[in-house]
Structure 1
Amino acid sequence: MITGAELSASIDKLLVLRKEIWQAFLDTFIMLGISTTVAILIGGLFGIFLFLSSDRQFLQNKTLYAVLGGITNFMRAFPFVILMIAMSPFTKAIVGTGIGPIAASLVLAIAGSFYFARLVEQNLREVPRGIIEATESMGARPFTIIKVLLNEARSGLVLSVTILCISLLSFSAAAGMIGGGGLGDLAIRYGYYRYQTEVMVFIVIMLSIMVIGIQALGNWVATRLDKR
């Protein structure tokens, strides 16, 4: 049972760290923003090609699909912390350092891209085949067909982006273990190494609130876009 004095002491410790907590929150926001944007762009294109090169699609190519699928599966299976260490030389060459939120953003973007690619492929597979055939029968060009596919799958794609954001938020916390910055880094430095449990608990609460908020927003947007 926590006494009033202990609670007051914990609050005082958090107030002392308020500037660092705010900076860690901003670093996490930067990592999440950059990595999610890049992952949506790269992973979205990758997922579209995965779908279009699969069986019964107008770019059907078993070899291409096998290659793209193999790359996607390999990168998805790569442990994030190991990926961040392995990509350290690359991030140093790009941003001049292998640590910090910007460096972590690059690794997060790579990890998220292949994760999102599979989600996009699955969303496009859920579009009724009849819609694609009807679009093709009207002589639509490939780009128009892709637009129709994305429009029909928009609700599912929004939920996939939501899942991506939450996953990258979790990865960004793990990035703190190896100098990625953000809330995870703060939790490790103060909550784990300095035994300040209140810092760890507070950051867990912050991350939980962020996850709940992201999921609620994603659900709301998806519901608005779902015309079924």
Structure 2
Amino acid sequence: MKDFLRSANREFEAILHSLFGNDLGYLLSKGLLETLYMVQFSALFAVLFGLPLGVLLAITRKDSIKPAPLFNKILGWIVNMVRSFPFMVLILVLLPFSGALIGMSTGSTAAIIALSIAAIPFIARLFEGALLEVPKDLIEATQSMGASNFTIIKMMLSECKPALANAIVITSISLVGYSAMAGIVGGGGLGDLAYRIGFQSFKPDVLFYAVIVTMILVQLIQSSGDFIVKILRANR
């Protein structure tokens, strides 16, 4: 795994060198693509693990379709505990774990592990909130027709699709900020570019352009997300 990732990284840098040379364009394109790589896969893992977690948090409340108050409290406590970790502390704690899992504790791939773990409880709470917005009358009507819990959950997910999409957008934007912090401890991306070259090497132009590219990226994610949410609301 370690050798494969390093080989892929060398190929990636060679392609960028051939396109941009060694100038600012190369640095910015490399930082942007690394940031997109981290955010994309971290958001994917966050959704894959956060959605079931959010569903469990929503349906096991005492007034929901599968009440389990004790389980809900324990699960909620675990989620809140992970959320309470400052991200910089979390990524430092997970460095040895990343090294053991993929053979490297620095770089964009290693940062994805910490980013995903930070994002999963965050998006789970957002998903839970979205599911709780489904009208109780609609849930009760579905239950009265003899629907199974699985069918009710599918109905709830269908009803709150715009809110779920908005939760993914919010999480993705948060991950852009987290990825910038990951760059400070060798995670790569625009944060690493801004800190290591822009700040530590006293190159304010690099710092400025890294910030501008990050701002544009956030705006693009938000605008795209708003467009998708608008479509989902129109098709409900």
Match of 2:128 in 1: 121
Shift of 1:19: 1.7
Deviations 1:28-79 (A, max 9, x none): 1110111000001111111100001112112111111111110111111101
**Structure 1: distance between partners of 2:65 and 2:32:** 45
Q: Which moved more, 1:24-33 or 1:112-121?
A: 24-33
1:111 aligns with 2:121: no
Picking from 74, 89, 93, the partner of 2:100 is 93
Give the 3-state SS of the residue equivalent to 2:182 in structure 1.
helix
1:48 aligns with 2:59: no
One-letter amino acid of the counterpart of residue 225, structure 2: G
| Runs of 4+ displaced beyond 6 Å | none
**Structure 1: distance between partners of 2:208 and 2:84:** 30
**Structure 2: distance between partners of 1:207 and 1:16:** 19
Match of 1:176 in 2: 183
Shift of 1:198: 0.9
Picking from 11, 15, 18, the partner of 2:25 is 18
**Structure 2: distance between partners of 1:122 and 1:190:** 40
One-letter amino acid of the counterpart of residue 98, structure 1: S
Tell me how large the CA RMSD over aligned residues is. 1.3
Query: Any unmatched runs of 5+ in structure 1?
Result: 1-14
Match of 2:198 in 1: 191
Shift of 1:137: 1.1
**Structure 1: distance between partners of 2:181 and 2:150:** 39
1:135 aligns with 2:142: yes
Deviations 1:180-212 (A, max 9, x none): 111100111111101111111101110111111
Shift of 1:17: 2.7
Shift of 1:134: 1.1
Shift of 1:21: 2.0
Shift of 1:149: 0.4
One-letter amino acid of the counterpart of residue 171, structure 1: Y
Give the 3-state SS of the residue equivalent to 2:187 in structure 1.
coil
Q: Structure 1-normalised TM-score? A: 0.91
Give the 3-state SS of the residue equivalent to 2:190 in structure 1.
helix
Picking from 118, 138, 149, the partner of 2:156 is 149
Give the 3-state SS of the residue equivalent to 1:99 in structure 2.
coil
Shift of 1:20: 2.4
Shift of 1:93: 1.4
**Structure 2: distance between partners of 1:55 and 1:119:** 19
**Structure 2: distance between partners of 1:102 and 1:170:** 16
One-letter amino acid of the counterpart of residue 66, structure 2: L
Match of 1:167 in 2: 174
Give the 3-state SS of the residue equivalent to 1:87 in structure 2.
helix
Query: Any unmatched runs of 5+ in structure 2?
Result: 1-21
1:158 aligns with 2:165: yes
Shift of 1:136: 1.0
1:220 aligns with 2:235: no
Match of 1:102 in 2: 109
